[in-house]
C-alpha cells in the first residue's frame, strides 16, 4: 500500500488537515459519554435542572463542533483520495505507454483496463477510508477502553479482554481472505477480456451465427467470477457478525456485572450508561476494523497487480545520452537482424540485411506470415531485435532519442485506426499545427478530398469509434493523408492501399511520386503496388529470398515470379516493366 503514502506526500497539507480533524472528531466522540454520565449522576440523580441544562448545552456545542470537524475532514479526504486516484491512473497510463508491445500482450489489454479502472478505484477507496474511519476506528477503540478503565477498572477490564480475541479473528480473516480477493480481480480480468473480444468481433459473430457459442464462453467466465465472489463474501458474512457477537457478549457481561454493582450501591448509574456507550463505540470501532481489513485485502490485491505493471521492465526507452540524428547517405539499414516475439518460439525474422537510401522507395512483398509487418514493428521500435542492428542515418536506433526518432517516421498501418471525432481532428494527428490548406493538399494527394467534400459537414464530419461510418478504402485514404501531414523523412505504407481499387491506387502512387520527395517503405500483397520501386525485397518464411528491381526478380526469384504469374498471368509478363 506504498502508493497511498507516496502520492499523499504531494497533498500532505490536505492529508494532514484531514487527519488532525479526524483526531479532534474522535476526541469529541470520546468526551460525550463521560459528559452524559455527569448529567445523570450529578444532575438527574440530584434533581438539579440547571446542571442538566448547562451540561446539555455544552454537549450540544461540542456535538456541533464535532460535526463541523467531520465535514472539514470529509471534504479534505475526498480531495486527497480523488487526487491520488487521478495521479495513480496517470502514472499507470504513462508506464503502459512505455512498455514494449510484447509486454503489453503478455499482461493483456483487458487486464490493463481493469488495473487502470477497478484496481485504481480500490486504492482510491482505501485512501479515502484511511482519512475517514481507518484512523478513527483504532483511536476510538483504544480511547473507549481507556475511558472505560478510567470510570471503573473492573468493567473496563471486561472491554479490554474483548480486543485481543477480535484481533485474532481479524488476523485469521486477513490470512484466508487475501487469496480469494486476488482471484476475484483475476476473474474480472477474464470477464473483461471475453467481453472486449466479443464486442470487437460482434459482426463476425453475427455473420457466422455464433451467438450461442459466444454466450456460453461468456457464461463460463461470468460464472467463475460469481463463484469466487461468493466464496469471498462467505468469509465476510461469517467474520463481521462474529465480531458483533463478541462485542455484544461483552456488553451483556458489563450489564450483568454493572447491575450487581449498582444494587450494592458501589457504582453509579451514569457510569454504567457511559461504559455502555464506550462499549458501543468499541463495537463500532471493531466493526469498522473488519471493514478496514476487508477493504485492505481488496486494495492489497489491487496494489500487487499495479506493482506488476510498475515493476515491468521498460526495454524500449531512450538512452540517458542519446546521439544526435544527422543525415547520412544511408537512411535506414538492417544489419544481421534476428527477431522472435517470445523466448521459446522460432525466429520470425532471420538474418535480415538491407540498406535504404534517402528519397528512394523500398518495397517488401511475400506470402502471408513471411514477416513483412514485423519489419515495420522493428523500424518503429515497437520491439528490439534479438540480435543484429537497425541503423537510422548510420546510428543504432537504440542510441537515439525514441520520441525524436519516431517524429521522423510516419506510418499507415495495415489495420487503419481512426479515432472518435471529426475527420479534421483525425487528420491533425499528423500535425496538430497544420493549416487547413495543408490538410486539404495532403487529402488531395491521398485521394481523400473528393469523398470528404461529398459529406454534408465536409471535414467537420463526425466519425464514430474506429471510423465506423467510413468504408475501408475511405479510412485508408484518410490514414495516408494523416501520415503525409507529418511531412516525414521516412514514410511506411503497410498494405496501405489494399482496400482501394487498382485505378485509385495508381492515382495515389502517382500523386505521391509527383508531390513528395520522401523515402518510402512500401509493403503490399499486390504485385502492381510494388513493381515501380527502386528495390523490392522478397520475403519467405522470415528470410530474404531475393532483393532487386522488378525485372531482376522476374528472372532470379521463383517466389516473385510465381506471385506475378498468379496475380497477372504470363500473358502480361511485360506489364509495368
In the chain, how long is the greatest CA-to-CA distance? 121
Question: What is the average pLDDT across 397-414?
Answer: 89
Give counts: helices (H), strands (E), the chain.
21, 12
Q: 273 pLDDT exceeds 90?
A: no
Q: 34 pLDDT exceeds 70?
A: yes
Distances (CA, A) of 532 to 113, 544, 558: 44, 19, 19
Range scoring the smallest mean pLDDT among 104-113, 129-138, 564-573: 564-573
Q: Which residues are CB-neighbours of 281 under 8 A, at least 6 positions away?
A: 29, 30, 33, 140, 141, 143, 144
- With a pLDDT cut of 90, the percent of the chain lying above it is 15
HEC string of 1-56 equals CHHHHHHHHHHHHHHHHHHHHHHHHHHHHHHHHHHHHHHHHHHHCCCCHHHHHHHH
Range scoring the smallest mean pLDDT among 10-24, 170-184, 408-422: 170-184
Question: What is the average pLDDT across 434-451?
Answer: 90
Q: 264 pLDDT exceeds 70?
A: no
Residue with cell 471535414: 459
Cα dihedral sign, 435-436-437-439:
positive
Question: Residue 474: left (phi > 0), alpha (psi -120 to 50), or beta?
Answer: alpha
Over residues 452-507, the pLDDT tens digits come to: 999 889 999 998 777 777 888 888 889 999 999 988 899 998 887 777 777 887 88
The answer to whether residues 526 and 532 touch, using CB atoms and an 8 Å cutoff, is no
Question: Residue 390: left (phi > 0), alpha (psi -120 to 50), or beta?
Answer: beta
Residue with cell 481472505: 177
| Cα 544 from Cα 375, distance rounded (Å) | 12
Q: How far is CA 163 from the centre of its chain?
A: 40
Over residues 285-334, the pLDDT tens digits come to: 777 776 777 777 778 777 888 888 888 877 777 888 889 988 888 999 99
Over residues 358-377, the pLDDT tens digits come to: 988 899 998 878 888 899 98
What 8-state DSSP symbol labels residue 131? I
| Cα 22 from Cα 77, distance rounded (Å) | 10
Question: What is the average pLDDT across 77-105?
Answer: 84
Where helices occur in 311-435 by DSSP H, the ranges are 372-379, 402-407, 423-427
Distances (CA, A) of 406 to 325, 393, 398: 11, 13, 12
333 phi/psi in degrees, rounded to 5: -140, 130
| Cα 363 from Cα 520, distance rounded (Å) | 8
Residue with cell 470520546: 30
Long-range contacts for 371-377 (Cβ within 8 Å, ≥24 apart)? 371/539, 371/541, 371/542, 372/494, 372/523, 372/539, 373/414, 373/494, 373/523, 374/339, 374/348, 374/349, 374/542, 375/334, 375/349, 375/521, 375/523, 376/411, 376/413, 376/492, 376/494, 376/521, 376/523, 377/101
Burial letters 140-154, b for 16+ CB under 10 A, else e: bbebbbebbbebbee
Q: Name the strands in the sheet holding 490-494, side by side, starting at the edge strand that comes first in the sequence.
A: 409-412, 490-494, 519-523, 361-366, 535-540, 543-548
pLDDT band of residue 576 (cuts 50, 70, 90) is very low
Range scoring the smallest mean pLDDT among 65-79, 148-162, 361-375: 148-162
| Cα 445 from Cα 510, distance rounded (Å) | 9
Mean pLDDT taken over the chain: 82
pLDDT band of residue 391 (cuts 50, 70, 90) is very high
Q: Which residues are CB-neighbours of 70 under 8 A, at least 6 positions away?
A: 21, 25
Q: 156 pLDDT exceeds 70?
A: no
User: Is pLDDT larger for residue 133 or for residue 534?
Assistant: 534
Q: 221 pLDDT exceeds 90?
A: no
- With a pLDDT cut of 70, the percent of the chain lying above it is 90
User: Is pLDDT larger for residue 265 or for residue 317?
Assistant: 317
| DSSP-derived pairing of the beta strands 332-339 and 387-392 | antiparallel
User: Is pLDDT larger for residue 149 or for residue 457?
Assistant: 457
Domains of the chain with bracketed CATH: 2-310 (1.20.1560.10), 322-408+528-577 (3.40.50.300)
Q: Name the strands in the sheet holding 395-396, side by side, starting at the edge strand that comes first in the sequence.
A: 349-356, 332-339, 387-392, 395-396
- pLDDT attached to residue 467: 76
Burial letters 522-533, b for 16+ CB under 10 A, else e: bbbbbbbbbbbb
Question: What is the average pLDDT across 100-117?
Answer: 78
Amino acid at each position: 500500500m506504498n502508493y497511498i503514502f507516496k502520492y499523499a506526500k504531494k497533498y500532505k497539507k490536505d492529508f494532514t488537515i484531514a487527519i488532525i480533524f479526524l483526531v479532534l472528531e474522535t476526541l469529541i466522540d470520546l468526551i460525550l459519554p463521560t459528559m452524559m454520565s455527569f448529567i445523570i449522576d450529578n444532575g438527574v440523580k440530584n434533581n438539579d435542572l440547571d446542571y442538566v441544562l448547562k451540561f446539555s448545552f455544552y454537549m450540544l456545542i461540542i456535538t456541533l463542533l464535532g460535526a463541523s470537524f467531520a465535514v472539514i475532514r470529509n471534504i479534505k479526504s475526498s480531495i486527497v483520495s480523488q487526487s491520488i486516484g487521478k495521479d495513480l491512473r496517470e502514472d499507470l497510463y504513462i508506464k503502459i505507454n512505455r512498455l514494449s508491445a510484447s509486454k503489453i500482450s503478455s499482461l493483456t489489454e483487458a487486464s490493463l483496463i481493469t488495473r487502470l479502472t477497478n484496481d485504481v478505484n480500490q486504492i482510491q477507496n482505501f485512501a479515502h477510508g484511511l482519512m475517514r474511519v481507518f484512523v478513527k476506528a483504532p483511536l476510538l477503540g483504544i480511547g473507549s477502553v481507556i475511558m472505560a478503565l478510567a470510570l471503573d477498572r473492573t468493567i473496563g477490564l471486561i472491554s479490554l479482554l474483548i480486543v485481543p480475541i477480535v484481533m485474532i479473528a481479524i488476523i485469521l480473516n486477513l490470512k484466508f481472505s487475501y487469496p480469494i480477493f486476488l482471484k476475484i480481480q483475476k476473474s474480472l480480468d477474464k470477464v473483461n477480456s471475453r467481453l472486449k473480444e466479443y464486442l470487437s468481433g460482434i459482426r463476425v459473430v453475427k455473420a457466422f451465427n455464433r451467438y450461442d457459442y459466444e454466450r456460453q464462453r461468456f457464461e463460463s467466465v461470468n460464472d467463475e467470477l460469481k463463484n469466487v465472489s461468493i466464496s469471498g463474501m462467505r468469509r465476510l458474512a461469517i467474520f463481521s457478525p462474529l465480531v458483533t457477537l463478541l462485542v455484544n457478549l461483552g456488553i451483556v457481561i458489563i450489564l450483568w456485572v454493572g447491575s450487581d454493582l449498582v444494587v450494592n450501591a458501589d457504582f453509579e448509574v451514569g457510569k454504567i450508561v457511559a461504559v455502555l456507550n464506550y462499549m458501543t463505540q468499541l463495537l463500532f470501532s471493531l466493526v469498522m476494523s473488519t471493514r478496514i481489513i476487508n477493504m485492505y485485502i481488496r486494495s492489497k490485491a489491487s496494489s500487487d497487480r499495479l506493482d506488476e505493471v510498475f515493476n515491468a521492465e521498460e526495454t524500449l526507452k531512450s538512452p540517458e545520452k542519446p546521439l544526435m540524428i544527422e543525415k547520412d547517405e544511408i537512411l535506414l539499414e538492417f544489419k544481421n537482424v534476428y527477431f522472435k516475439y517470445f523466448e521459446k518460439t522460432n525466429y520470425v525474422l532471420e538474418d535480415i540485411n538491407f540498406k535504404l537510401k534517402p528519397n528512394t522507395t523500398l518495397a517488401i512483398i511475400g506470402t502471408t506470415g513471411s514477416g513483412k509487418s514485423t519489419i515495420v514493428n522493428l523500424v518503429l521500435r515497437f520491439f528490439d531485435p534479438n540480435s543484429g542492428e537497425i541503423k537510422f542515418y548510420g546510428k543504432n536506433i537504440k542510441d537515439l532519442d525514441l520520441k525524436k526518432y519516431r517524429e521522423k517516421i510516419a506510418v499507415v498501418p495495415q489495420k487503419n485506426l481512426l479515432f472518435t471525432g471529426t475527420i479534421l481532428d483525425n487528420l491533425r494527428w499528423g500535425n496538430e499545427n497544420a493549416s487547413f490548406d495543408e490538410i486539404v493538399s495532403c487529402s488531395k494527394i491521398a485521394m481523400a478530398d473528393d469523398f470528404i467534400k461529398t459529406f454534408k459537414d465536409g471535414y467537420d464530419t463526425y466519425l464514430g469509434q474506429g471510423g465506423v461510418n467510413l468504408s475501408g478504402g475511405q479510412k485508408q485514404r484518410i490514414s495516408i493523408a494523416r501520415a503525409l501531414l507529418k511531412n516525414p523523412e521516412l514514410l511506411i505504407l503497410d498494405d496501405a492501399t489494399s482496400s482501394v481499387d487498382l485505378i485509385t491506387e495508381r492515382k495515389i502512387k502517382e500523386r505521391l511520386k509527383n508531390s513528395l520527395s520522401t523515402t518510402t517503405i512500401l509493403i503490399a500483397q499486390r504485385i502492381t503496388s510494388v513493381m515501380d520501386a527502386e528495390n523490392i525485397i522478397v520475403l519467405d518464411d522470415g528470410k530474404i529470398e531475393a532483393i532487386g528491381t522488378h525485372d531482376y526478380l522476374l528472372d532470379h526469384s521463383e517466389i516473385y515470379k510465381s506471385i506475378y504469374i498468379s496475380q497477372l498471368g504470363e500473358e502480361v509478363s511485360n506489364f509495368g516493366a
